[in-house]
Structure 1
Amino acid sequence: MRQQVLATREESLGLTEQKELRIGVVGCGNISAIYMKNASLFRRLRMVACADLRPEAATLRAKEFGLREMPLEAIFDAPDIDLILNLSVPAAHHEVSMRAIRSGKHVFTEKPLCASAAEARALLDAARAAGLVVGAAPDTFLGAAGRRARQLIDSGALGQVVTGTAFMLGRGMEHWHPNPAFYYQPGAGPVLDMGPYYLTMLTYLLGPVRAVTAVTSFGAKTRTITAPGPLQHSTFEAGTPTTALSLLEFRSGAILSFGASWDVFRHSSAPLELHGTSGSLRLPDPDNFGDVVALSPQGADWVAHASEGTPFGTTNYPVEAPDRANYRALGLAEMAEAMEMGRPPRADGALAFHVLEVLESILHSGETRRRIEITSCPDQPALLDEAAAEGLLR
């Protein structure tokens, strides 16, 4: 009976006869290259085609990675594509993903899931009605550092997690990105652009958030582009807050402070720290798949747990001079396995929706100066252990 149920689910997911997930990429900007490069690491992924509003961008990526370049309007209906990898700008996430769902394609999208929780709910409802699967970045929580932190927490090394801090602080994107204005518009900003890394990791480690309270501001509303390029020295206006400080109440009972700002020149705050009844844990930047996790049991000296040499923790990026672990497409590969096995992906739409609702509520709380209850309550993603991580590789 169980095999019959699983077979029925696999048929609805479209992976009964073939085990490779055939992927069409929409959006061929900066981040597309690492997805296309990393896809070859995983045994259930096959990049097929790519498209972009700018044909020259699609041409470049198609030649670089041996893909079929397609017009944007045609890629959604291609019969040899099972899933659309949505790497468009945040404001277009909903439109692109909905188009894929209407065309009978599964979706994996860059973060955030959509520009608003209302759009995200409509997307997930449409996918559910069509029997399709939605997954979403970030997938960094599945990397070596996130797995080690989860193992330590699950083993009781911290006891009951009581409190902690999470800080994403920097000067923004205009210092390195040649055309960064879209990062500062509704649907992005430090909260929605970088917040997903922190909130997804925290939900993976602690479970879902119950409520948020926040204060937001514009540190510098007019931004000057200093990165080399045709727009260098020009200015643009930020359309979403550039600094936010919030208090996160988790259903587990933990209370954490989360700060996100693109108005900070320099700081010495750790990206993530968790403190429990038996010890403390320090995590690296959750935008990274690897690096060092440090544990202080009962206040003793920090004990370092390195990621180097473990699945999805080994330094590999950038190719010319590697200084970090970057295994984007890991969540996509885990999603392909989940679909084959007839279970929800770890980086699924429900998790991404919860993270988006929390982040949107931070912004809304900053506007209204009130505490906001979070309505969504996804299951905490299961630990991806070492054997399961290894099993995703070719």
Structure 2
Amino acid sequence: MDPIRVGIIGVGNVLNQYLDKIGVHPDVEIVALADVNAEAVAKRAAEYSVPKALTPDELLADPAVELVLNLTPPNLHAPVTLQAISAGKHVLSEKPFATSLEEAQQILDAARAAGVKVGSAPTTFLGSGMQTSRKLIDDGWIGRPVAVFGSFANRGYEHWHPNIDPFYSPGAGPMLDIGPYLVTNLVNFLGPAKRVSASAPRSSETRPRPTADGGYDGVIDIKTPTHVTGSIDFESGATATVIVSWDVWNHNLPHLEIYGTSGSIAAPNPDHFSGAPILRRGEPRDLALDMTPPGGGDWRETAITHRDDAYRGIGLAEFGHAIRNGLEPRTGGAFAYHVLEVLLAFEKSSELGRHIEIESTCERPRPLPSVGPHEPYRFD
């Protein structure tokens, strides 16, 4: 097919994760970059040999751009996506899809009226590590999935991120920043969710603001929960326990493990695109009074079933394939809305002190066809 012509709005911290390996996706052509910072966008366009360095308005008016990749800060995701839809562009947004369900519904309604496709990252579920894990589940290696444990926990981003305040503002926090990697992959593995129960405290009202020389100057106002823990019940009958935190120095928790009636899978880091799952089938010794200790027994690294150099550009390639073939992207609007509703339900559950029923649903994303290391990516 003709390459999908992509214009990117926002040239900040995440741009390189899309463009460093974009060459492995020949069906994606980056035709323009845009940002409100003219100096930054000119520098990034030169760095990646992108022909046009534009303002956001110029990019949206450019007829060469078919698909907009929205890499703006989270609070701007919905406004910029709506602007792009108004300009007749398809839009793939960085996560989260929006910061409220009201914004997300506006996006879906506008896209439907304009006849364009919308969707949201994260697209790590399209990478080899998660697709191999999905295939192990679908092929019955652990029997019927009954439970999952997922975690992301660290001390926050202020010691390395150049623009930290938005991360501690309403509509952000660990659930909307790192939670999408867990929830997106959980829906990929288990299908749609039906209810959430959670607790979401803040450990403090402020944090010291680090300086480049290793000291501190002033404080960061904390306006969002910084430690979120809870459970998700899925329509399939499985349940997941989830922890996301910026209050933890270190831990021994797995990123993502899936437990079935016949065994377990330790999936790779769901923030990454590669890595091999580790499979553990049930063993007789597990049934003894002194059962096999955690981590014990015959865990085996599996061979990956998909090419493993995708990086974030795979989301653009899959989206472009869907546009060209009249399909709904695997990262499409209904899927993105459902994931966002689950994410927002954690804080809502904590505030109201009860289960939150998930009103939306979505199709479980279609698995990607297996391809070898030197074969083209396939999205049929």
TM-score by length of 2: 0.91
Q: Does 1:119 align with 2:115?
A: no
The 5-angstrom pairing of residues 247-326 of structure 1 reads: 247-299=231-283, 300-305=297-302, 307=304, 310-312=306-308, 314=309
Q: Does 1:194 align with 2:178?
A: yes
Q: Distance in 1 between matches of 2:24 and 2:217?
A: 40
What SS class does the counterpart of residue 247 from structure 1 fall into?
strand
Question: Match for residue 36 of structure 1?
Answer: 19
What SS class does the counterpart of residue 246 from structure 1 fall into?
strand
What SS class does the counterpart of residue 225 from structure 1 fall into?
strand
Q: Is the 8 A contact 2:155 2:248 kept in 1?
A: yes
Q: Is the 8 A contact 2:77 2:97 kept in 1?
A: yes
The C-alpha deviation readout for 1:20-70, integer Å capped at 9, x for no partner, is: 211111101011122123322212211111111221211111111122111
Q: Distance in 1 between matches of 2:376 and 2:333?
A: 23
Quote the sequence identity (%).
39
The 5-angstrom pairing of residues 1-394 of structure 1 reads: 19-67=2-50, 68-226=52-210, 228=212, 233-299=217-283, 300-305=297-302, 307=304, 310-312=306-308, 314=309, 327-387=311-371, 390-392=375-377
Q: Structure 1 residues 55, 94: closer, same or farther in 2, change over 3 A?
A: same
The C-alpha deviation readout for 1:127-174, integer Å capped at 9, x for no partner, is: 011110112111101111101111110011111111121111111101
Counting matched residue pairs gives 363
Q: In the TM superposition, what is the alpha-carbon distance from 1:179 to its structure 2 partner? A: 2.4
Q: Distance in 2 between matches of 1:99 and 1:23?
A: 16
Q: Distance in 1 between matches of 2:376 and 2:105?
A: 32
Q: Distance in 1 between matches of 2:13 and 2:214?
A: 17
The C-alpha deviation readout for 1:242-281, integer Å capped at 9, x for no partner, is: 0111111010000111111100011000011111111111
Q: In the TM superposition, what is the alpha-carbon distance from 1:292 to its structure 2 partner? A: 2.8
Q: Distance in 2 between matches of 1:145 and 1:334?
A: 17
Question: Match for residue 7 of structure 1?
Answer: none
Q: In the TM superposition, what is the alpha-carbon distance from 1:351 to its structure 2 partner? A: 1.2
Q: Structure 1 residues 303, 19: closer, same or farther in 2, change over 3 A?
A: same
Q: Distance in 2 between matches of 1:227 and 1:211?
A: 42
Q: Distance in 1 between matches of 2:217 and 2:298?
A: 47
What stretches of structure 1 of length at least 5 have no aligned partner?
1-17, 315-325
Q: Structure 1 residues 310, 226: closer, same or farther in 2, change over 3 A?
A: farther
What SS class does the counterpart of residue 20 from structure 2 fall into?
helix
Q: In the TM superposition, what is the alpha-carbon distance from 1:337 to its structure 2 partner? A: 1.0
Q: In the TM superposition, what is the alpha-carbon distance from 1:232 to its structure 2 partner? A: 5.4
Q: In the TM superposition, what is the alpha-carbon distance from 1:230 to its structure 2 partner? A: 11
Q: In the TM superposition, what is the alpha-carbon distance from 1:388 to its structure 2 partner? A: 9.4
Q: Is the 8 A contact 2:258 2:266 kept in 1?
A: yes
The C-alpha deviation readout for 1:66-120, integer Å capped at 9, x for no partner, is: 2211122211111111111100000000110000000000101100001111101
Q: Distance in 2 between matches of 1:388 and 1:101?
A: 36
The residue type paired with residue 376 of structure 2 is: G
The residue type paired with residue 37 of structure 1 is: D
Q: In the TM superposition, what is the alpha-carbon distance from 1:392 to its structure 2 partner? A: 3.0
Question: Match for residue 14 of structure 1?
Answer: none
Q: Is the 8 A contact 2:307 2:372 kept in 1?
A: no
Q: Is the 8 A contact 1:43 1:392 kept in 2?
A: no
Q: Distance in 1 between matches of 2:83 and 2:331?
A: 21
The residue type paired with residue 303 of structure 1 is: R
TM-score by length of 1: 0.88
- What root-mean-square deviation, in Å, do the aligned CA atoms of Structure 1 and Structure 2 show? 1.9
What stretches of structure 2 of length at least 5 have no aligned partner?
284-296
The residue type paired with residue 173 of structure 2 is: G
The residue type paired with residue 332 of structure 1 is: L
The residue type paired with residue 167 of structure 1 is: S
The residue type paired with residue 266 of structure 2 is: R
Q: In the TM superposition, what is the alpha-carbon distance from 1:387 to its structure 2 partner? A: 3.0
